[in-house]
Structure 1
Amino acid sequence: MTEQDGGTGRVRPPVHRWLWYALGGGLPARHRSWVLHDTTTRTWGVRHVARALVQMAIPTALVLALVPAGWALRLAVVGGGIFLGLIFSLAYMAETTEQRVIKAGYAPGTAVRAREAASIVRQREESMRKRAAAQRRAARYQQRAGDR
Structure 2
Amino acid sequence: MAVKRPNPLLWLWYAVGGKLPDRYREWVLHDATAPTWLVRHVIRRLVFMLPILAALYVLLAVILDFSPTIVLLGLALGVYAGVYYSLIFSTHSVDSRVTRHGFPDEYASQVRHALKEAEKQRYNATWRDGQTPS
Q: Same fold (TM over 0.5)?
A: yes
The reply to whether residue 17 of structure 1 matches residue 27 of structure 2 is no
Deviation of 1:126 after TM superposition, in Å, equals: 2.1
1:28 partner amino acid: P
Distance in 1, Cα, partners of 2:126 & 2:38: 25
What SS does the aligned partner of 1:62 have?
A: helix
**1:86-125 map, 5 Å:** 86-125=83-122
The one-letter code sitting in structure 2 at the alignment partner of 1:23 is V
Q: What aligned pairs does 1:38-117 form with structure 2 within 5 A after superposition? A: 38-67=31-60, 68=64, 69-117=66-114
Please tell me the residue identity of whatever aligns with 1:90.
L
TM-score, normalised via structure 1 length: 0.80
Distance 1:127 1:61 in 2: 49
Distance 1:64 1:125 in 2: 50
Name the counterpart of 2:132: none
Q: Identity, % of aligned pairs?
A: 34
Unaligned runs of 5+ in 1: 1-6, 133-148
CA RMSD of aligned residues (A): 1.2
Q: Which blocks of at least 5 consecutive residues in structure 2 are unaligned?
A: 130-134
The yes-or-no answer on 1:36 pairing with 2:29 is yes
Superposition deviation, residue 94 in structure 1: 0.5
More relative contact order, 1 or 2 (CA 8 Å, 6+ apart) = 2
Structure 2 CA distance for aligned equivalents of residues 19 and 129 of structure 1? 41
Q: Size of the alignment, in residue pairs? A: 125
Among 12, 20, 43, the alignment partner of 1:27 is: 20
- 2:96–2:106 CA contact under 8 A, matched in 1: no
| Length-normalised TM-score, structure 2 | 0.88
Q: Is the 8 A contact 2:41 2:94 kept in 1?
A: yes
After superposition, the C-alpha distances for 1:43-95 in whole angstroms (9 at most, x for unaligned) are 11111111111111111111121112111111011101000001110010001
Spell out structure 1 runs of 4+ moving beyond 6 A: none
Q: Please point out which of 121, 126, 131 is paired with 2:128.
A: 131
